[in-house]
């Protein structure tokens, strides 16, 4: 689970759990159980001050969040809206990663330099032959916070309960506490594996 919250003075909080499932292959017709590891799911582009967090099940041995950060590093100037850049990257990513294995993930992207779409969620899945593009980019409406991954978890009520996105915006410390509470409560109430 990841959460992005807008705080006062154009500051943003991006928090993520660290539990990652690595899909193991199958042997002898049986699928091996997933391996669980604990690692950062957040990547930051120093060039454009954009942060990206990932949830879901990407293709084995890939890091789509880092690939996206590397991709936007090649762009000389980030446009006000990341939607076009994100669509281009998604199509290229889907073209590069075809094959038998199913994969799908979400990127939660924070671009504090955008006045209109500072938090964007992108859903990317393996392209099926009958569909030209499986991605969904959710940029509007912006509510001051966004949650990605495990959206049915009861912990997602905390930002709304704490009135994130309503003026006045929370200060940085309060926003950080709300993000931490949401992530920690989310881990406590996670769906059984």
pLDDT tens-digit readout, 41-69: 999 998 889 999 999 888 777 899 999 99
User: Kind and range of the H or E element at 4?
Assistant: strand 2-7
In 120-193, alpha helices (H): 157-161, 172-188
Radius of gyration (C-alpha) of the chain in whole angstroms: 17
- What's the rounded Cα separation, in Å, for the pair 74 and 151? 32
Does position 76 have pLDDT exceeding 60, yes or no? yes
**pLDDT band at residue 113, thresholds of 50, 70 and 90?**
confident
Provide the residue range defining the domain that includes 123.
Answer: 2-10+35-149
Q: How far apart are CA 51 and CA 42, in angstroms?
A: 7
Answer yes or no: is 72 within a domain: yes
User: Higher-confidence residue: 123 or 27?
Assistant: 123
User: Predicted confidence band at 130 (pLDDT cuts at 50, 70, 90)?
Assistant: very low
pLDDT at residue 114, as a whole number: 85
Our count of domains for the chain comes to 1
- 171 and 12 Cβ atoms separated by less than 8 Å: no
Summary mean pLDDT of the chain: 82
Tell me if 79 is assigned to some domain: yes
Q: Is 131 within a domain? A: yes
pLDDT above 70 for 176 = yes
Does 75 reside within a domain?
yes
> pLDDT at position 39, please?
85
Q: Quick check: 24 pLDDT over 70?
A: no
Q: Which residue has the higher pLDDT, 19 or 29?
A: 19
- Residue 165 inside a domain? The answer is no
């Amino acid at each position: 689970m990841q959460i992005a919250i807008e705080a006062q003075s154009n500051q943003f909080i991006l928090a993520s759990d660290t539990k990652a499932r690595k899909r193991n292959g199958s042997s002898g017709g049986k699928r091996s159980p997933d391996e669980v590891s604990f690692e950062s799911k957040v990547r930051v582009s120093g060039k454009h001050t954009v942060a990206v967090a990932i949830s879901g099940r990407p293709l084995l041995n890939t890091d789509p969040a880092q690939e996206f950060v590397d991709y936007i590093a090649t762009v000389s100037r980030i446009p006000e809206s990341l939607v076009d850049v994100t669509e281009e990257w998604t199509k290229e990513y889907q073209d590069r990663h075809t094959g038998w294995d199913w994969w799908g993930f979400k990127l939660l992207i924070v671009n504090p330099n955008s006045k209109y779409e500072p938090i964007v969620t992108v859903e990317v899945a393996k392209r099926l032959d009958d569909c030209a593009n499986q991605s969904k980019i959710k940029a509007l409406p912006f509510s001051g916070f966004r949650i990605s991954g495990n959206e049915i978890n009861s912990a997602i009520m905390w930002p709304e309960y704490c009135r994130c996105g309503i003026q006045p915006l929370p200060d940085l410390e309060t926003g950080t506490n709300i993000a931490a509470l949401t992530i920690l409560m989310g881990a406590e109430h996670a769906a059984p594996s």
